[in-house]
Amino acid sequence: MKLTKIQAIRIAQKIYVKQDELVLEIEHMYQYT
């Protein structure tokens, strides 16, 4: 499957957003323990 540069960038941005959300959730979990 060939991706254009724009498609690859969009996919990468989605992955980074998901990682940021996970990090925030983990930080919240540690704050409340």
pLDDT of residue 33: 64
For the segment 1-33, what is each residue's pLDDT rounded down to a tens digit?
687 999 999 999 999 899 999 999 988 888 876
pTM, rounded to two decimals: 0.53
| Percentage above 90 pLDDT, the chain | 52
Cα–Cα distance for residue pair 11/5, rounded to 1 Å: 10
**Angle at the Cα of 9 (from 1 to 13), degrees rounded to 5?**
120
Q: Domain limits at 6?
A: 1-33
**Angle at the Cα of 8 (from 27 to 4), degrees rounded to 5?**
170
**The two three-digit tokens of residue 8, written as one number:** 């690859």
For the chain, what is the domain count? 1
